[in-house]
Each structure stands twice: as structure tokens, then as C-alpha cells.
Structure 1
Amino acid sequence: MKILIVEDERNLSDSIVTYLGTEKYLCEQAFTYADARMKINVYEYDCILLDLMLPGGNGLSLLRDIRKRRNPVGIIIISAKDSLDDKVKGLEIGADDYLSKPFHLAELSMRIYAVIRRKKFYANNIIESNGITIDLLEKSVAIGNVAVTLTKSEYELLLFFISNKERVISKSAMAEHLSGEMADMLDNYDFVYTHIKNLKAKLTAAGCNDCIRNVYGMGYKWIEH
């Protein structure tokens, strides 16, 4: 899952990146209003952590712009402004949660998890598709009684497919999901094909066949049987 941290306090932002990295999140950073707006307009994220006081602009203005564009991304406001009016205003405009500074990183991580679970998986901790069971808390995958060991990229790819089932996903979209803004600097997306091939092989070996189909010239899609 890909997180954008919009926070001008670099030490705090770096601490969040380090902690969420241990939780297997892919994190990107924006330290100004302009940088955040550019990244949100260009890339897709599963959740945005949004500070209200930013160099060059206000976080609430950015939030309002995101929702005007009908972008459904999960948004958690992280701010030292903890008045009731600030919280109500942020939630009214379209934030999914509000966390006042200072906060514990473990709590932030669980709030991110809750927002993503609610947005993408209908508030379920357990996801099932084609006989595959995914435990989002444990980050484990099983088919029947057979545990399937996946790499971080394979696990993220599986969730990406299931959350977009029956939709064609381009290689570029998968590359961005797995690599973030670094995908723009890649010469090709061969690594995406490698991850898909390995994921398909592991699912097939555990008894799940023909879930991921190639749509010639367009990309891949998850087929629900």
C-alpha cells in the first residue's frame, strides 16, 4: 500500500517513513503545498497523511481540492491544531480521520490500516476471492489449508488485483503502485511481468488457477470465478 506523507517537519516525516516501512508500506514525502498538490495530481495513493500548516498553502485547501476532483483516496489529517472546530471542519470537507500531534506511530499505523480497510475492503480484516483467504492484519495468504508465502511485492500486487477485480490494470499502473514515483525513472516495466509470473506460479501451485489474465496490449485483470 502506498502512502503520501504531507508534512513540513522533516524529522517527523522521516520518522513516519521509517516506522511505516517496517509495516510494509511504501511511503513518499511532500514538504510543501505545491509539491503535495503536484504528486496528488500525478500519482495514486492508498492513503494521504495531511498536515494543515504547510509552506505555500493550507492543508484544508488541499483537502478541498482533492475532494472536488472526486478523488476517493483515504485522508488522515495530522496536525498540532487540535481544537474541536479544526477537527469538525476537516472531517466536513472530507478527511477520513484526524490525529492530533504528538501521536504514537503505532496508533498512526493502525488508523492508516483502518482507513484503507474501510475504503478498499469494506471494513473487513479477512478478504476472500477465488478460494484465496488474505488476513490483512497478519499479512498472510492461504488457499484452503495451504499457506502461500509471498514476497512484499507479490502480496501488494495480489491486493491491488483483488481491490480492482474485473478491471484491466496497465503495467505502468502496477509499476507505480509497487515503486511509487521511482517508476517514472524506469526504462521498462519488465520487473512487473516478473512479479506477476511469480505470483501466478505460487497461486497455481497452491490450487488457484487462471485468476490473472493478460489482456493483450492493455495489461492484466483479476478474474472472479
Structure 2
Amino acid sequence: MKLLIVEDEAELAASLVSYLEGEQYRCEVASTYAAAEEKMLLYDYDCILLDLTLPGGDGLELLRQLQQRQKADGVIITSARDALDDRIAGLHLGADDYLPKPFHLSELSARIAALVRRRHFNGSNLVQAGPLAVDVLLRTVRVNGEPLALTRSECDLLLLLLANQNRVVMKSTIAEHLSGDIAEHFDSYEPVYTHIKNLKRKLAEAGLGECILTVYGLGYRFELAAA
């Protein structure tokens, strides 16, 4: 799962990255209004942690832009501005949650997990597709009750495909999801092909057969064969 941390306090941003990467999230950071605007409008994130007071502009304006572009990124406002008007304005502009500073990192992590569950998996920690079961919070995978060992990237890829079951996920989307904004500098999609190949092999060996289908020229689709 990919997060954007919009935070101008360098020490706090570093603390957030350290903690959340330990929780198996992929983190990017923007410390100014301009940097946040560029990332938020160019890339997709599972969750954006948005401070409102930024060098160069107001975080509420970034929310307005997301709303105008009809982007579906989840947003949790993390701000020392705890005025009621700011909370109401942020929620009306599409924010999913508002966590005033200072906050406990464990609570922030729990709120991120809850947001991801609501947006992608109908509020459930357990995502199931036939005999396949993935615990979103613990990042554990089982097939027919037996544990399946996946790398972090493979688990992230599987969750992305499961969140879009029976729909094509573009190669560019997968590259960005796994690698963040550095994906645009790749000369090829070789990292995507490698992760797809390894994940397909592990799922097939676990008894799921050919459940990741290649849509030539576009990307991949997760689809379990009818029983």
C-alpha cells in the first residue's frame, strides 16, 4: 500500500516514514505545497496524510483540487490546526478523517488501515477469492488454509489485483504502485514482469492455477476460474 506524507516538519516526516515503513507501507514525502500538488495530481495513493499549514499554500486548497479532478485517493488530515471550521471544511472537501496533532503513531496506523479497508475491501480485514485469503492488516496470505510466503512487493501486487478483481490493471499502474514516482524513469516494465511472474508461479504452486491473466498490450487481470 502506497502513502503520500505531506508534512513540512522534517523530523516528524522522518518519524512517520520510519514507523509506517515498519508497518509495511511504501511512503513518499512532500514538504511544500508545490511538491504536494505535483505528486497528488500526477500519481495515485492509497492514502494521503495531509498537513494543512504548508510552505507556499494551504492544504485545504489541495483537497479542492483533488475534488475537482475527481481523484479517489483516501485522505487523512494530520494538522495542528484543530479549529472546528477547518475540520468541517476538510471533510466537506472529501477528506476521510481528521487527526489533530500531536497524535500517537499507532493510532495513525490504525486509521490508515481502516481507511484502506473501507475504500478497497468493504471494511473487512480479510480479503477472500475462492480458496485464497489475504489478511490486509497482517499481510498474511493463505490458500486452502495453508500459509503462502510472499515478499512485500508480491503481497502489495496481489492486493492491488484483488482490489480490482475481473478488471484490467495497467502495467503503468502496477509500476507506480510498487515503485512510486520513480516508476516514470524506468526504461522498461521489467520489474513489473518479474513480480508478476513470481507471483503467478507461487499462486499456481499453491493450487490456484492460472488466476492472473495477461491482457496483451495493457496489463493484467485477476480472475479465478469457475469451479
Alignment TM-score, normalising by the size of structure 1: 0.97
Q: Secondary structure at the match of 1:8?
A: coil
Shift of 1:78: 0.4
Secondary structure of residue in 1 paired with 2:201: helix
Partner of 1:128, secondary structure, is strand
Q: Which secondary structure state, in structure 2, belongs to the residue aligned with residue 29 of structure 1?
A: strand
| Aligned residue in 2 for 1:67 | 67
Counterpart residue identity of residue 194, structure 1: T
Q: Corresponding residue for 1:55?
A: 55
Unaligned runs of 5+ in 1: none
CA distance in 1, matches of 2:21, 2:183: 18
Show structure 1 runs of 4+ deviating over 3 A. Answer: none
1:11 Cα deviation from its structure 2 partner: 1.1
User: Are 2:154 and 1:161 aligned?
Assistant: no
Q: Which moved more, 1:178-187 or 1:14-23?
A: 178-187
Letter in 1 for 2:221: K
Distance in 1 between residues matched to 2:4 and 2:31, nearest whole Å = 11
1:137 counterpart SS class:
coil
Q: Deviations over 1:1-29 (max 9, x none)?
A: 00001111111111101111101101001
SS in structure 2 at match of 1:133: strand
Q: Distance in 2 between the 1:130 and 1:10 partners?
A: 45
Q: Is the 8 A contact 1:165 1:224 kept in 2?
A: no
Q: 2:98: which partner in 1?
A: 98
Aligned to 1:178: 178
Structure 1 residue 206: Cα displacement: 1.0
Amino acid at match of 1:32: T
Residue aligned with 1:217, SS: coil
Amino acid at match of 1:61: E
State the Cα distance separating 1:145 from its structure 2 match: 2.0
The offset of 1:34, in angstroms, is: 1.1
Separation in 1 of the partners of 2:184 and 2:159?
22
Deviations 1:156-200 (A, max 9, x none): 000010111222222221111000011122222212111111111
Shift of 1:210: 1.6
Equivalent residue runs for 1:104-123 within 5 Å: 104-123=104-123
Whole-angstrom distance in 2 between the partners of 1:138 and 1:50: 25
Q: Is the 8 A contact 1:168 1:220 kept in 2?
A: yes
Structure 1 distance, partners of 2:113, 2:49, is: 12
For the residues of structure 2 that align with 1:54 and 1:9, how far apart are their CA atoms?
9
2:201 matched residue in structure 1: 201
Task: Look up the match of 1:189.
Answer: 189
Identity of aligned residues (%): 52
Q: For the residues of structure 1 that align with 2:190 and 2:215, how far apart are their CA atoms? A: 16
Whole-angstrom CA distance in 2 between matches of 1:162 and 1:200 = 13
Q: Which amino acid aligns with 2:193?
A: Y
Rounded to whole Å, the distance in 1 between the matches of 2:45 and 2:111 is 16
Q: Distance in 1 between matches of 2:200 and 2:53?
A: 45
Q: Take 2:114 and 2:172, find their aligned partners in 1: how far apart are those partners?
A: 27
* 8 Å CA contact retained: 1:166, 1:223: yes
| Cα deviation, residue 63, structure 1 | 0.6
**Take 1:135 and 1:205, find their aligned partners in 2: how far apart are those partners?**
20
- 1:36 counterpart SS class: helix
Q: Which residue of 1 aligns with 2:139?
A: 139
The alpha-carbon deviation at position 224 of structure 1 amounts to 4.0
- Superposition deviation, residue 96 in structure 1: 0.3
| Runs of at least 5 residues in structure 2 that lack an aligned partner in the other structure | none
Measure, in 2, the Cα distance between the counterparts of 1:214 and 1:133.
22
- Letter of the aligned partner of 1:9 in structure 2? E
- Size of the aligned set, in residue pairs, is 225
